[in-house]
Amino acid sequence: MNLSEIYARVQPVMQAVQQEGDAALLRFTTQFDGVELQHIAVSDIEKAQAAGMLSNELKAAIEQAAANIRFFHSKQLAPAEVVETMPGVRCWRKSLGIERVGIYVPGGTAPLFSTVLMLAVPAQLAGCKEIVLCTPPQKDGTVHPAVLYSAQVAGVSQIFKAGGAQAVAAMTYGTESIPAVSKIFGPGNQYVTAAKMLAQQAGIPIDMPAGPSEVCVMADESANPKYVAADLLSQAEHGADSQVLLVATPDFNMQALQEELAAQLSRLPRNAMAAAALENSTAVVLANIEDMLALVNEYAAEHLIISMNNATAIAEQVINAGSVFIGHLSPESVGDYASGTNHTLPTNGYARMYSGVSIDSFVKKITYQQLTPEGLKTIAPTVIAMAEAEGLEAHANAVRVRL
């Protein structure tokens, strides 16, 4: 399906939610998710029951991941630094959290509760006053308990049963249940991505255009085919539209890789999806590092794994990638869940100009300046001369009258 066909399907959904609110959300949930809901908001009882439905092992894992994400992202917070550009002219910049942000958490083929942590934790650190979370309901009309528990750990209380383009529309325009937000975050399928792009046209900024997941693996003779196969399959199992690219040197053991892919694929519960993704995937063999880097930087992968000798030195030459995993013991899965870095990353080549989600994604930055009498006197000739040269006499006069 091409882009125009996707937009043609998504636009009526966006318009219906804008015009009908909750009624449209309920109708689309029945139509697209096969679930008839009575209420869109997750109840306090549902939230309270979530913890009891998870193993202690999973709860501990969620809490550890949240702690790592919080620690890594907290280091991105910086106090305002006052700079005196001239004697008596003080300037500084202050970060303030966006007051109300929306988080979309996919739940179609898998409940991505890790996305709750990746988005809500930095939003909370940034000082966002309200975090609105939308996620598709399961077939029984509930939200997966791991999503609810992760929201609890991350301090999110506004949770709604809405998925797909209709959830993005609800956060864009607001409904009786779901408040309109100032910025929308979160990955999703092609319909969610299209809805986010339409939301942006409606004046609501988004984190980035994020489509199907991608991984690029660079491998040489030192790479373990078993590890490389596992890395390729870890992305392929996201869905049939996932992109998998291998860029290898001639001495990489491609035969062993084929054998490992077949063996590991046969054991995967989601092997049909992974196999479909591999059908559309590519392996490229190149003789030298320069050519490999040229291809990798042009591709601008969401996830780049460097399974090579001198991986650290090679990583220094990467200029386009969402997140880089250096060496044989750095699987992409750790970034997806718990190393602390964010897994909400640009795809489809957007890593050439977009960054992954960080504290900066959730803040607006205001600049300030304050002048003393000495500062005004010192800077006045510069401002007056420039304003007069541009023909803006009132600008010049705003300085002149104060002298």
Torsion angle (degrees, nearest 10) of CA 15, 16, 19, 23: -160
Residue for token digits 């550009």? 85
Report the DSSP pairing between strands 89-97 and 83-86: antiparallel
Any catalytic annotation for residue 303? yes
Question: Which of 214, 237, 260, 302 is labelled catalytic?
Answer: 302
Q: Are 122 and 97 in contact (CB under 8 A)?
A: no
- H or E element that contains 306: strand 303-307
Instruction: Give the Cα separation of 323 and 338 in Å (integer).
Output: 14
Instruction: Give the Cα separation of 309 and 311 in Å (integer).
Output: 5
Instruction: Give the Cα separation of 178 and 284 in Å (integer).
Output: 47
Q: Are 384 and 400 in contact (CB under 8 A)?
A: yes
For residue 277, give both structure tokens: 């993704």
Instruction: Give the Cα separation of 102 and 96 in Å (integer).
Output: 17
Any catalytic annotation for residue 63? no
Q: Are 292 and 310 in contact (CB under 8 A)?
A: no
Instruction: Give the Cα separation of 338 and 68 in Å (integer).
Output: 6
Question: Which of 73, 238, 303, 343 is labelled catalytic?
Answer: 303
Any idea which residues carry the catalytic annotation? 302-303
